[in-house]
Chain A
Amino acid sequence: MSILRKLAFYLVALFAALTLNFAIPRMLPSNPVDVLLGKLQAQGPVTPETRQALMLLFGTDTSVPIWQQYLDYLQSLATGNLGVSVTYFPTPVTEVIASALPWTLVLVGLTTLITFVIGMVIGTIAGWKRGTWVDSLIPSTTILASVPYFWLAMVLVYLLSVTAGIFPLGGGYDVRRTSPELSFEFLSSALYYAALPALTIVISSIGGWILGMRNMMVSTLSEDYVITARAKGLSPKRVMITYAARNAALPSIAGFAISLGFVVGGSVVMEQVFSYPGIGNAFLLAVQNNDYALMQGLFLVITISVLGANLLVDLLYQFIDPRTRARGV
């Protein structure tokens, strides 16, 4: 029952996102069709069909009723047709997204997971040893958390790339030496170029995990079952990990799902600083070039991946925390 409810909720959320994507261009006072046609004309002759398709896409064709537009929109989404990108004319939007997605998924996804794990471990220890010197490190993490991400990235680029020359200035791989393929050379180059962006993500986002976990540990440690476990004479390590940390981690795991949304958002800024060839970079290029089809397609892909990740964690949560199952919420 509760799983069905969850699925229903995510369906509603997906539907809301699709509708927002449909409604925003129609509600706001601008005419993307003219902007786009101007761009397309610069690249070659435009057929009346293209104009018609664009007007359908952005809803400026008033001869078609709005509900019909909506149905057409849903139908073209269902067939995987997201239109043609202007920035990378005449590549379809789906292809642009497919080539950009792996970069972001691998770099940001892996880095977020690593940050989460390290943060949880430090948070557990800090909460366990509260009031000692370990705990006094906590306020410094809040300062890190309040530094704007892109500024931290800029400073690190300045220190480590411009001044010290350890890392490259930006990009996804060494374009002069290698090209995307499954070779050792390409992979090692990609890894080298990903190191600094990954480092900045870890530094800027680890504070929140440490703090959240530390506070939950402190709360959990005063629970009766933890005191009982201690009174039974269990080893401190066992009390810390199996009794306190296991329960204290629950809100952080729920928070992890929510943070995935911010991760994708954050990747837009990260990729701007490092000119990293991922989703965020494509998104910004689309915005700068008024490439509305690509922009909407990317928004959809980002939203769907965030919703999917949330659903996954939500379902997983039911297995991790039996209490949510018992209550049937």
Chain B
Amino acid sequence: MAELITESIAVRADAADEEPDDSQRRRGRSAFWRRLLTPKFVVGAVVVLLIVLFGLIGPLITQDPNAIDNIGLSSPSGAHPLGTTSVGQDVLAQLAHSTRGSLTVGVLVAAFTLGLSAFFGIIGAYIGGITDEGFSLLSNVMLVIPGLPLVIVIASYVESQSVLLVIVVLALTGWAAGARVLRAQTLSLRNREYVLASRVAGERTWRVICVEILPNLLPVMSSGFVFGIVGAVLAEAGLSFIGIGATGSLTWGTMLADAQNGQALLFGAWWWFAPPGLLIAALGAALSLINFSIDEVINPKLRTTNIAKVERRTKREHQS
């Protein structure tokens, strides 16, 4: 992520001298980054970066998140910047560890989900025939079977839920929608001339998929990955909240579940239940902003050029 930001900032610096016009739009990579670099993207990226940094560095410098004290439910003070839980744990320390936990779950689930949907979506659509029929039937069935109840049923049959189990279950129940999108895209790509050309040239199947098709799917896949993170963080939080999340680990969801069980609402302990929710919302909103920017690059129809602004600018240029 950090790399992305510095690169974008560099691009932004040289983009400032010249306004992009139609001829430059098609110049590939650098134009792609220039288009991507909207205020929306920068705000989103900065917020995500801050949350990631908090999850990385926070646990190193905060107190022990599990240390119990007899000053339960104390409001924010010097010793505890975000107050304490009902058993006197430091909320800030819990928040830092939870951020790390939730981000780990989010990224891993999104990666597994992407892998599964790429496998079922791309390979099925490329090979076609009975494989495609089978794969798309499977993903359509998975799509209509309600996910959360299925996750609950699976999780309840396992005695102790490890974080890994939660990750695997969320990935197994969440890949179908992505597979459908990738399948549709691959179907339209596989009959393009350059793909046909490389097939005629005798390239092996995996090479055609990896070199010719995959790069064209990257924008769609990256958007799917970003949504996957948000979805997984929310799903994990929901699972933990209803009491069947990973046991013995700290995530935003377990914090909120503890707050609910510890009657934080009745005692008005806003410092306990507000921060985890705000962080989830901030992460979700920031990732959506990034996704918007990616979407606007991929789909030119979504671009809203402010006509009044363009007119003013042309006028100004004429005058100078």
> Chain A residues with Cβ under 8 A from B148's Cβ?
262, 264-266, 268-269
Our pick among B154, B241, B276 for the contact of A24 (Cβ within 8 Å) is B154
State whether B276 touches A151 (Cβ < 8 A).
Answer: yes
CB interface residues, A 125-157, toward B, < 8 Å: 130-131, 135, 139, 142-143, 145-152, 154-155, 157
CB interface residues, B 220-248, toward A, < 8 Å: 230, 234, 237-238, 241-244
Contact of A54 with B by CB under 8 A = no
Shortest distance in angstroms between A70's beta carbon and chain B's nearest beta carbon? 18
> Nearest chain-B residue to A264 (Cβ)?
B146
Are A13 and B141 also in contact (CB < 8 A) when A148-B234, A148-B281 are? yes
Contact of B153 with A by CB under 8 A = yes
Q: What's the Cα separation between A273 and B237 when bound, in Å?
A: 14
CB interface residues, B 303-319, toward A, < 8 Å: 304-307
Q: What's the Cα separation between A131 and B154 when bound, in Å?
A: 46
Contact of A92 with B by CB under 8 A = no
Flag A263-303 by CB within 8 Å of B: 1 or 0 each. Answer: 01110110011000000000110011010000110110011
State whether A268 touches B277 (Cβ < 8 A).
Answer: no
Contact of A324 with B by CB under 8 A = no
> Nearest chain-B residue to A271 (Cβ)?
B242
Question: Which of A9, A24, A146, A264 has the most B CB atoms < 10 Å from its CB?
Answer: A146
Are A303 and B256 also in contact (CB < 8 A) when A13-B140, A296-B153 are? no
Q: What's the Cα separation between A29 and B154 when bound, in Å?
A: 11
State whether A150 touches B238 (Cβ < 8 A).
Answer: yes
State whether A154 touches B256 (Cβ < 8 A).
Answer: yes
> Nearest chain-A residue to B159 (Cβ)?
A30
State whether A283 touches B149 (Cβ < 8 A).
Answer: yes
Q: What's the Cα separation between A266 and B241 when bound, in Å?
A: 12
Our pick among B156, B281, B292, B301 for the contact of A219 (Cβ within 8 Å) is B301
Interface-side segment among B14-22, B67-75, B282-290: B282-290
Contact of A205 with B by CB under 8 A = no
Question: Which of A12, A28, A150, A295 has the most B CB atoms < 10 Å from its CB?
Answer: A150
Are A16 and B145 also in contact (CB < 8 A) when A28-B157, A151-B280, A154-B273 are? yes
Q: What's the Cα separation between A109 and B154 when bound, in Å?
A: 26
> Chain A residues with Cβ under 8 A from B234's Cβ?
146, 148
Q: What's the Cα separation between A245 and B284 when bound, in Å?
A: 29
Secondary structure class of chain A's binding surface, majority of residues: helix
Q: What's the Cα separation between A288 and B154 when bound, in Å?
A: 13
Q: How large is the interface on B (under 10, 10 to 19, 20 to 34, 35 or more residues)?
A: 35 or more
Flag B124-161 by CB within 8 Å of A: 1 or 0 each. Answer: 00000000000001001101111111101110111100
> Chain B residues with Cβ under 8 A from A296's Cβ?
153
Q: What's the Cα separation between A310 and B150 when bound, in Å?
A: 17
CB interface residues, A 19-63, toward B, < 8 Å: 20-21, 24-25, 28-30, 32
> Chain B residues with Cβ under 8 A from A273's Cβ?
260
Q: What's the Cα separation between A17 and B144 when bound, in Å?
A: 10
Flag B256-290 by CB within 8 Å of A: 1 or 0 each. Answer: 10011000011010100110110011011101110
Contact of B1 with A by CB under 8 A = no
> Nearest chain-B residue to A9 (Cβ)?
B140
State whether B306 touches A146 (Cβ < 8 A).
Answer: no
Contact of B302 with A by CB under 8 A = yes
> Nearest chain-A residue to B274 (Cβ)?
A155
State whether B143 touches A284 (Cβ < 8 A).
Answer: no
Contact of A235 with B by CB under 8 A = no
Shortest distance in angstroms between A289's beta carbon and chain B's nearest beta carbon? 10
State whether A146 touches B153 (Cβ < 8 A).
Answer: no
> Chain A residues with Cβ under 8 A from B283's Cβ?
146
CB interface residues, A 151-187, toward B, < 8 Å: 151-152, 154-155, 157-158, 162-163
State whether B285 touches A32 (Cβ < 8 A).
Answer: no
Are A131 and B281 also in contact (CB < 8 A) when A146-B288, A306-B146 are? no
State whether A148 touches B238 (Cβ < 8 A).
Answer: yes
State whether A142 touches B289 (Cβ < 8 A).
Answer: yes
State whether B141 touches A148 (Cβ < 8 A).
Answer: no
Our pick among A20, A151, A287, A307 for the contact of B156 (Cβ within 8 Å) is A287
> Chain A residues with Cβ under 8 A from B149's Cβ?
264-265, 268, 283, 298-299, 302-303
Q: What's the Cα separation between A162 and B273 when bound, in Å?
A: 14
> Nearest chain-A residue to B177 (Cβ)?
A258
> Chain A residues with Cβ under 8 A from B256's Cβ?
148, 150-151, 154
CB interface residues, B 48-102, toward A, < 8 Å: none
> Chain B residues with Cβ under 8 A from A189's Cβ?
none
Contact of A69 with B by CB under 8 A = no
> Chain A residues with Cβ under 8 A from B265's Cβ?
154, 157-158, 162
State whether B144 touches A269 (Cβ < 8 A).
Answer: no
Contact of A222 with B by CB under 8 A = yes
A-B contact pairs, 11 of them (CB 8 A): A131-B304, A131-B305, A139-B289, A158-B270, A162-B266, A261-B143, A261-B146, A265-B148, A266-B148, A287-B243, A302-B146
Inter-chain pairs besides A162-B266, A287-B244, 6 sampled, C-beta below 8 Å: A131-B306, A215-B302, A264-B146, A265-B147, A283-B152, A310-B144
Q: Top 7 closest A-B pairs, CB basis?
A: A146-B284, A265-B148, A151-B277, A28-B157, A261-B146, A143-B285, A147-B281
B-binding residues in A (CB < 8 A)? 9-10, 12-13, 16-17, 20-21, 24-25, 28-30, 32, 130-131, 135, 139, 142-143, 145-152, 154-155, 157-158, 162-163, 215, 218-219, 222, 258, 261-262, 264-266, 268-269, 272-273, 283-284, 287-288, 290, 295-296, 298-299, 302-303, 306-307, 310
